[in-house]
Amino acid sequence: MRTVQEVFDFSKEESLSWKDFIESNENRDALAYLTRWPNWNSNGLVIIGEHGVGKTHLASLWAQSTNAVCVLKSCVNNNPRDLFEHTKDNKCNFVFDNFQDFLANQRWLFDFYNIAKEKHRYFLITDITPPALWNVSLPDLKSRLNLLPVVRIFSHSDELLFKVTKKLARDYGIEITNSVIEYILMMCRRDIPEISRILKTIDKLSLQQKKPLNLNFVKKYLSIEK
């Protein structure tokens, strides 16, 4: 039975480790809480923030360091105890990415919460909004979710986006100038998955067309995409 998956696919060679993560004012609270594990005040944590601010990235780092797996949405169709029995060594922790996608079966979530507490397992939840704003109709589940600590990742500053873009380019083996990075950030949507997509695409196109990845090349590509 397929109830969990290997955590997250950062396939093009992005360097994922705590030492490579770029700390900033925007993510400092979330980073501090995650790296305190297992010395948490609760066995669960909620990280909130807009799309593209790095919630999934941080969740993947935590998962790698805590033997955690990403729970699939299809899990809610099975007995929640199966999730604990079919994971490696029966000792792993769990990540729920985009938690509101799981709210279709609130009884399952309530049972999962209680089993996790019983078995002393930890879980990390990511979402755009805090639990108080979720459409939870099951009172017992609502009260438990509202007890979880919540930390926010704030929208990226220009300085942080520049540093992240430069790091991604380095991880992908792409040589680009600061002016190219500045132009990409000026023209594209300001979230990390979109920046990553653009970097991979322009790198692939420049290799296919055997053209240097300079400012003129990037301007042409982004003008076509617009």
pLDDT digits (tens, 9 = 90+) for 105-151: 999 999 999 999 999 999 999 999 999 999 999 999 999 999 999 99
Which is it for strands 68-71 and 4-5: parallel, antiparallel or unpaired?
antiparallel
Domain 158-225 has CATH 1.10.10: no
- pLDDT in the model for residue 63: 92
Give the pLDDT of residue 221. 85
pLDDT tens digits, 154-210:
988 888 889 889 988 998 999 999 999 999 998 888 888 888 899 999 999 999 999
Q: Provide the pLDDT for residue 91.
A: 72
| pLDDT of res. 54 | 85
State the DSSP code for 139: H
Tell me how crowded residue 56 is: count the other CB atoms within 10 A of its CB.
21
In this structure, are residues 3 and 81 in contact, taking their beta carbons and an 8 Å threshold? no
Residues 6+ apart with CB under 8 A from 208: none
- With 80 as the cut, is the pLDDT of residue 214 above it? yes
Query: 142-160 as b/e, with b when 16 or more CB fall inside 10 Å?
Result: bebbeebebbbbbebeeeb
Q: Is the pLDDT of residue 5 over 80?
A: no
pTM recorded for the entire structure: 0.75
Q: How many residues does this entry show for the chain?
A: 226
Residue that wins the pLDDT comparison between 87 and 96: 96
Query: Measured between alpha carbons, how far is 62 from 1 in angstroms, rounded to an integer?
Result: 25
pLDDT band at 85 (very low <50, low <70, confident <90, very high): confident
Each residue of 16-49: pLDDT tens digit?
Answer: 667 677 888 889 999 999 999 999 999 999 999 9
Backbone dihedral region for residue 52 (phi beyond 0: left; psi -120 to 50: alpha; all else: beta): left
Domain-wise residue ranges, the chain? 4-152, 158-225
- CATH 3.40.50.300 correct for 4-152: yes
